[in-house]
Structure 1
């Protein structure tokens, strides 16, 4: 159930008593719709009246692309924040009602920058840079969504350790399903080290009804997790649709053209 009420203009809402729910959309397999899920969840939450931000922790910088922003034009990015050369407010952009904290290829420099012994005093806790940065903004939002890379790298570890919750998107095919278990294993290992991260569930994405493989794999996936009380496969299914690709290509996310994502948001957070 959602932990925050809708944003209003009441001055009492300006107090910093609330803390955002921070959700990473993560998978150790690429090409499963992480960016599309983050983008459409964000515009869906905004359409329901929730103050929402997106953090791009993938060096590909596709969140900017999805919201119609040229990543080549970005002067400062989340990388600059993480290495201490900018504040979150310095990089904030807003599009389609969503506050965006964007990235580009500079993020690929994070690991060599913060993991070298020469910089160990500057970055004594390199896996918690994002968590510390989110301390600057987490009282300003109801939800903060994080787009992650498919690699088990420093940006991904920062994303997971900064999160309260994880959503795992999965295409119902062999390699993607294998990626689910790799992701769960990674999150479980973090949980065993004391991190308080909740796996909200697995979201089937890019599902083709007319493909027997997808139908069989989806049924098998639901059976495999039916007896796993702490991990569920969501009822909502995101079908493969050309309109999703067009929206990303044109940089114009529209929840009216992606109603299944709005249904997903309502399912995840039990929003009426």
Structure 2
């Protein structure tokens, strides 16, 4: 039975999509069968895995609307063992369209929960907001990874996200767990980076992944070539970090 993991933080630029794409690719090369669901209207996870967003005819929009079955939305990617349900800019409209639907928070859960028997991991790349799209992802997920960038204001907004997770646990998904907090964009030369790491580890000790994602030029370059860091430069620091994170998650879920 697979596990659904949402990757969420309402702040933009914290490394959500980078984590979604590269964690998926890392789990894939470690022989896990992975499905990535792009639930962000910006569709960066889709283009980051080499898929032409303009050519998407069915994807997460149709999935949430229940006008297409999950199986019809899934397409293979250039990463071994990784498939994706792509996104398109159309997804922007979904929040308005679902607003007066019954069970609107459960649309994604209803559409994908049966896929847990087909995949080891289903990752959901969430939009940078706490709107209906993210709510659907958290309701469908077994757990959530929270990327936190090692920069000023890193913890700003974290309380809001944790409160949202609490209310989802209370109302929609009692089983939702925090998979872990992931420190991203770490630069060991900066005092501020080290302070953020210390602070997050002090406040959230067991909830923080041991793996820290370091700032890495190759990580920034890979998406413009439509490749994960594993395909783009497997010897880079970024690839090493994400493979380490993938191993940590596998170990945690198999122990």
Q: Same fold (TM over 0.5)?
A: yes
Q: 2:129 aligns to what SS in structure 1? A: coil
Moved more, 69-78 or 176-185: 176-185
Q: Distance in 2 between matches of 1:61 and 1:176?
A: 24
1:83 to 16, 40, 65: 65
Q: What residue number does 1:192 align with?
A: 170
Q: Distance in 1 between matches of 2:180 and 2:243?
A: 16
Matched, 1:101 2:85: yes
The structure having more radius of gyration, on CA atoms, is 1
Return 5+ residue gaps in structure 2 as ranges.
none
Q: Distance in 2 between matches of 1:203 and 1:165?
A: 13
- Bigger fraction of residues in strand: 2
Q: What residue number does 1:208 align with?
A: 187
Give every structure 1 segment of 4 or more consecutive aligned residues whose post-TM-superposition deviation is greater than 3 Å.
none
Q: Distance in 2 between matches of 1:108 and 1:150?
A: 12
- TM-score w.r.t. length of structure 2: 0.91
Q: Report deviation, 1:194.
A: 5.6
Matched, 1:170 2:148: yes
Note the aligned Cα RMSD (angstroms).
1.6
Alignment of 1:1-272 (within 5 A): 19-95=1-77, 96-97=79-80, 98-116=82-100, 123-193=101-171, 195=173, 196-226=175-205, 232-255=207-230, 256=234, 257=236, 258-270=239-251
CA contact (8 A) 2:218 2:229 kept: no
Q: What residue number does 1:15 align with?
A: none
Q: 1:206 aligns to what SS in structure 2? A: strand
Q: Distance in 1 between matches of 2:204 and 2:119?
A: 32
CA contact (8 A) 2:152 2:192 kept: no
Q: Distance in 2 between matches of 1:83 and 1:194?
A: 19
Moved more, 188-197 or 208-217: 188-197
Q: Distance in 1 between matches of 2:201 and 2:34?
A: 30
1:157–1:212: structure 2 CA closer, same or farther, 3 Å change rule? same
Q: 1:178 aligns to what SS in structure 2? A: coil
Q: Report deviation, 1:174.
A: 3.4
